[in-house]
């Protein structure tokens, strides 16, 4: 591992004459074992480390040929414009802005207010993709709260045990020119040329 260089033979016995300064000892350290240990540690951490798994959102889609008819009065529309602002309305009502933080409470209240509510999410092609993920996360929060409340009610005996589990019904729809005009009429802004969407 290590070696000490004494710098030549030293005479035994008494020294005579002037005192000579002591020679400095040369120290030499063998680094080979340290390199071996470094590589062993590197290999250990590479094998033992859990790498970040890609995150994916699971969405259960219905069969492609499934059609569900519902009354317009039971449809809540969420629109996200090119500036990532969220607007909501029920049926043909005038869209109103809502903050992302207030969205779960709005959806929760509307599910209680309108039986068999269906939420339609329309997102501009110029909006951020993360905004759609944030909205779907808020829908998941509302669904989770309803399911937990349902379980607690069944446990307390205030709801029948064979009641079907709550599931929030929502759908994604393409952004159209009509949506752009609708939001422009609410905000008073001119329609952006790159946000027309499909006819």
Indicate the domain borders of the chain: 72-187
- pLDDT tens string for the chain (199 positions)? 555 555 555 555 555 666 777 777 777 788 888 888 999 999 998 888 877 777 766 666 666 666 777 888 889 999 999 889 999 999 889 999 999 999 999 998 998 888 888 899 999 998 998 898 899 889 888 888 888 887 888 788 777 777 777 778 888 888 999 999 989 888 888 766 555 555 5
Q: Of 106, 124, 117, 105, nearest to 76 (Cα)?
A: 117
Question: What pLDDT is recorded for position 78?
Answer: 93
DSSP code of 115? T
CATH of domain 72-187: 3.30.420.270
Taking CA atoms, 184 is separated from 53, 73, 174, 196, 197, in Å, by 41, 23, 17, 11, 14
18: its two tokens: 């002037």
C-alpha torsion sign, points 178, 70, 142, 89? positive
């Amino acid at each position: 591992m290590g070696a000490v260089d004494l710098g030549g033979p030293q005479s035994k016995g008494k020294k005579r004459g002037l005192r000579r300064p002591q020679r400095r000892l040369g120290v030499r350290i063998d680094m080979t074992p340290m390199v071996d240990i470094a590589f062993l540690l590197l290999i250990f951490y590479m094998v033992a480390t859990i790498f970040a798994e890609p995150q994916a959102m699971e969405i259960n889609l219905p069969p492609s040929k499934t059609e569900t008819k519902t009354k317009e009065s039971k449809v809540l529309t969420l629109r996200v414009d090119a500036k990532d602002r969220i607007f909501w309305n029920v049926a043909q009502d005038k869209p109103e802005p809502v903050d992302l933080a207030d969205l779960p409470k709005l959806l929760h209240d509307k599910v209680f207010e309108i039986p068999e509510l269906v939420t339609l999410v329309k997102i501009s092609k110029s909006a951020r993709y993360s905004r759609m993920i944030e909205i779907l996360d808020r829908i998941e929060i509302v669904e989770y709260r309803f399911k937990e409340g349902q379980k607690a009610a069944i446990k307390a005996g205030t709801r029948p045990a064979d009641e079907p589990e709550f599931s929030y019904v929502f759908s994604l729809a393409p952004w159209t020119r009509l949506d752009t005009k609708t939001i422009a009429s609410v905000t008073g802004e001119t329609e952006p040329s790159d946000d027309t969407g499909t006819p």
